[in-house]
A and B are shown apart, each in its own frame.
Chain A
């Protein structure tokens, strides 16, 4: 709303001010004893007209707006079109409007950011703003520039007439034309100073805009409410900064603003009145209610009462039908304002001591939490005494204090409107470090047997310099070698012995690296940075499946998220995005088996939407062709071999989904609890995402929903060694985390001081994190290896010769695949149930039978603490089976004890004296091995 101070109303104000200025100049000249030449006028300022547009849907309107600028009696020196994060618009405009400078909004998405971009790129001394759906009268620029004859004038705006598509509704009062962004009845009929201008037709001295830092980008929109008034706030700020400066209204400078049919409805009328009330509350917080509401008081005291009486006058122009709209409009705006005040819209983040303390907590919790974590890491932690709950048994209380404080601090930061991206990034970086650097700091050796296996694969590539055609169990690594090839390059490049150090720190490195693509992805879903960072936090707080270690899956997953972020980022030319994504897609296709199908379904889901089709469709085609080509050439042996089992599992959703679940009947009690918490967390995450979709119908149209659902069909494709359910969870999680964060967004509040229900935020985060630490740290007894195990394996390497057979319960020990191409092995607890039961029932007979299958090779039985932990925790073997086996073998005839310590025991199985039949070659572990509790591979 714009209102004129009453005393100056109806004065030809601009003319008077210009005369006064001339008199002042003359006096000043006289004082300098220099008479100015008669008729001298101040030089005419140069003008830049800025039009901001954000959609192709209004292309015709935009063309008309630019045509009206071309037709000006006094053409502007420059016309700038700012495309607000719409690549297609920018490209087409640059092609078709050769006389217009086309800029892309590099700042925050939205009208304010676009206007600020325009001001930065403008060269004129005065910048005028015209809406993309408005057309200017031919004398528009001339009338505006006339106003700048007075040097004290900061800005000039003009009249905005509605241009109704469907005619003015009878009920729509002219006093409420501000609802449709137009000049309304009650505004001055002649040139006059005003408090603020209306965005569709306004101009400012560029120096003034630059001086006050442009438009506020945080006022445009709060939540889903379309808040405006950024120009009101700017005008108030400009006037406060430039004492004595004035802002003028020149009704002769006319533009016509299109009013589409959708805006001539009661629904729009009510929504805009409500939003105007909220906006006024926000502006009132920034500018003070005295200034912000002076015009509104006058409007309510004078304009509205007259409007209510006017229909009853004898020569009534407005119909009586306008009266309900007048009353409803005033009431709705008032209610919106009251609500905005109650919610504290736009409140200064530091109004009270309590809020100050709250903000200080958000700032200080981070360094204190990091300090506590560092202290916890310096404490002695008995990692070799982990029990059924893994690291949860031994981590010091200080660690949990640090994690709790960090969570509370992050929640407080989300509620603090003043917090900026760097603080969120530091919090998230600290969370990732605390969660994923802790094992690396506490353990002396690389954790997790699969990571050891992958280090050994890199070693193999470094040794041989090539992929092997018959790599047995390691065939997938030789047929999808991308990740190992990159790791081998890094190892050779830095001149290290092996990839152990890289592997030790890779969970931390990969997770820190993932923050970037996740933020990029979420920024394409929403402009609200609090939702973005909350989603990142939720992702890391729920990604318990542990696919972040030194593995091809981790590598491919980071690329997968990056590709999705690039597809959805429409700030780039489609062809450019496809070109950028091509090496990423090829790297995914050649590095991992499962990620390419996931990429196919995800790009397919995105290609369904017209907005992303131009990028997603070519990439879908590229991925499909690349996968087919790779599977039919390099990966053909493995793919053909696996085809049979995959075909049997195809379509069996339920069996595939349950294949990787731990058997709660036979597992250790601690692991049963861990598995239950894992499942509860997974179900909780799914329920929260479903609730988000039910409660926020808008989210259903978001690409995030499609990306969350896209991986589900892969459940039908096969069990993937019991892994598929966890992988589907992993691939859906980035989008699911966003859905949850969007649902939680109302808890963030709109001000620095939290409302009571905001307490739910740290509670939800803490619950999710609790689930995470159970899932991620709960199995660490199996994943941690002590000095004894490493030393025993090295010793075994020195006493055994290449080609000797290593027999172990499972492959859960470091060095299980060392010198793979030369060694032979059998993991008896992972073989068929019959063989397993036979070995447990009669270890001597079972193990000698195994060894006798390899005549000519010496066999070694190698049992370690890690194997014992895995067998006990997952129920692979009955409790105490390995100890009983050890006692039995100690006295058995063909078993010679070579080494025994706390962590490992080694027997040599002496060759049989009686001849046996031809032994089979190395037998690969069969597929009916018992279910693993551990969803990692």
Chain B
């Protein structure tokens, strides 16, 4: 039953990254947390565990980059770009993806037992 726990990690990393914006600019911990989340988090949440390990890794990285670009440019086009807004939205999207996966996983488990 590692599915739901694994799904929750990226969401936790997202909110940690959002929280780390309160740290001073360029602080190593802030850099680490933000870079790890932006590079892996959102993509990891949408990758699921359906594929092989290399495929999941690739989707995590490129999916994160794609979601980050889409979110940030939506704010840019709306003339409302700011770092915390984009990071917060990404953390929210990641959480949403994680919740969907957790619910789907739980339903599937119940069906198996039933």
Q: Do A and B bind each other?
A: yes
A residues at B contact (CB < 8 Å): 106, 461, 465-467, 481-483, 485-486, 488-496, 513, 516-517, 519-520, 523, 555, 558-559, 562, 565-566, 569, 571-573, 576, 580, 583-584, 586-588, 590-591, 634
Interface centre among A106, A493, A580, A586 (most CB of B within 10 A): A493
Query: B18-35 vs A: 1/0 string, CB under 8 Å?
Result: 000101111100110011
**Interfacial chain A residues near B61, Cβ < 8 Å:** 513, 516
Q: Which of B23-81 contact A (CB under 8 A)?
A: 23-27, 30-31, 34-35, 38, 46-48, 50-52, 54-55, 57-59, 61-63, 65-73, 75-81
Residue in contact with A562 in the complex, picked from B58, B68, B77, B84, CB distance below 8 Å: B58
CA distance A829 to B31 in the complex (A): 42
Known: A481-B76, A520-B54. A587 touches B69 (CB 8 A): yes
**Interfacial chain A residues near B27, Cβ < 8 Å:** 495
Once the chains bind, are A466 and B50 in contact (CB under 8 Å)?
A: no
Closest 10 CB pairs of A and B: A495-B25, A492-B83, A485-B72, A587-B66, A466-B79, A482-B69, A493-B34, A485-B73, A486-B69, A562-B62
Once the chains bind, are A586 and B87 in contact (CB under 8 Å)?
A: no
- Counted as pairs of residues, one from A and one from B, with CB atoms less than 8 Å apart, the total is 143
Q: List 8 A-B contacts (CB under 8 A).
A: A465-B76, A465-B81, A466-B81, A486-B72, A493-B83, A558-B65, A571-B55, A588-B66
CA distance A494 to B21 in the complex (A): 8
Give min CB distance, A676 to chain B, whole Å: 36
Q: For residue A466, which residue of chain B has the nearest CB?
A: B79
- Main SS of the interface on chain A? helix
**Interfacial chain A residues near B70, Cβ < 8 Å:** 482, 583, 586-587, 590
**Interfacial chain B residues near A481, Cβ < 8 Å:** 73, 76-77
Residue in contact with A490 in the complex, picked from B35, B75, B78, B79, CB distance below 8 Å: B35
**Interfacial chain A residues near B46, Cβ < 8 Å:** 580, 583
**Interfacial chain B residues near A466, Cβ < 8 Å:** 76-81
Known: A465-B81, A465-B82. A495 touches B26 (CB 8 A): yes
Once the chains bind, are A489 and B72 in contact (CB under 8 Å)?
A: yes
Q: For residue A485, which residue of chain B has the nearest CB?
A: B72
Q: Which of B62-114 contact A (CB under 8 A)?
A: 62-63, 65-73, 75-84, 86-87
Once the chains bind, are B21 and A493 in contact (CB under 8 Å)?
A: yes
Q: For residue A576, which residue of chain B has the nearest CB?
A: B50
Contact-residue bracket for chain B: 35 or more
CA distance A569 to B75 in the complex (A): 33
Q: For residue B47, which residue of chain A has the nearest CB?
A: A580
If A466-B77, A495-B21 are given as contacts, then 7 extra A-B residue pairs at C-beta distance below 8 Å, sorted by A number, are: A465-B79, A466-B81, A485-B68, A492-B82, A492-B83, A565-B55, A572-B55
B residues at A contact (CB < 8 Å): 17, 21, 23-27, 30-31, 34-35, 38, 46-48, 50-52, 54-55, 57-59, 61-63, 65-73, 75-84, 86-87
**Interfacial chain A residues near B73, Cβ < 8 Å:** 481-482, 485, 590-591
**Interfacial chain A residues near B59, Cβ < 8 Å:** 562, 566, 580
Once the chains bind, are A483 and B69 in contact (CB under 8 Å)?
A: yes
**Interfacial chain B residues near A488, Cβ < 8 Å:** 72, 76, 81, 83
Once the chains bind, are B55 and A485 in contact (CB under 8 Å)?
A: no
Interface centre among B23, B47, B79 (most CB of A within 10 A): B79
Give min CB distance, A84 to chain B, whole Å: 14
Once the chains bind, are A106 and B52 in contact (CB under 8 Å)?
A: yes
Give min CB distance, A627 to chain B, whole Å: 15
**Interfacial chain B residues near A482, Cβ < 8 Å:** 69-70, 72-73
Give min CB distance, B17 to chain A, whole Å: 7
Give min CB distance, A83 to chain B, whole Å: 14
Known: A495-B27, A583-B46. A517 touches B76 (CB 8 A): no
Q: For residue B50, which residue of chain A has the nearest CB?
A: A572
**Interfacial chain A residues near B69, Cβ < 8 Å:** 482-483, 485-486, 555, 587, 590-591
Once the chains bind, are A566 and B55 in contact (CB under 8 Å)?
A: yes
Once the chains bind, are B62 and A485 in contact (CB under 8 Å)?
A: no
**Interfacial chain B residues near A571, Cβ < 8 Å:** 51-52, 55
Once the chains bind, are A520 and B58 in contact (CB under 8 Å)?
A: yes
Residue in contact with A467 in the complex, picked from B52, B57, B62, B76, CB distance below 8 Å: B76
**Interfacial chain B residues near A494, Cβ < 8 Å:** 25-26, 30-31, 34-35
Give min CB distance, B15 to chain A, whole Å: 14
**Interfacial chain A residues near B78, Cβ < 8 Å:** 466
Known: A485-B81, A494-B35, A571-B55. A584 touches B87 (CB 8 A): no
**Interfacial chain A residues near B67, Cβ < 8 Å:** 583, 587
**Interfacial chain A residues near B58, Cβ < 8 Å:** 516-517, 520, 562, 565
Q: For residue B37, which residue of chain A has the nearest CB?
A: A493
CA distance A481 to B84 in the complex (A): 19
Once the chains bind, are B72 and A587 in contact (CB under 8 Å)?
A: no
Known: A494-B31, A496-B26, A562-B58. A583 touches B76 (CB 8 A): no
CA distance A490 to B77 in the complex (A): 18
Give min CB distance, B64 to chain A, whole Å: 9
Give min CB distance, B56 to chain A, whole Å: 10
CA distance A86 to B38 in the complex (A): 33
**Interfacial chain B residues near A523, Cβ < 8 Å:** 54
Give min CB distance, A483 to chain B, whole Å: 6
Once the chains bind, are A465 and B66 in contact (CB under 8 Å)?
A: no
**Interfacial chain B residues near A461, Cβ < 8 Å:** 76, 81
Q: For residue B20, which residue of chain A has the nearest CB?
A: A493
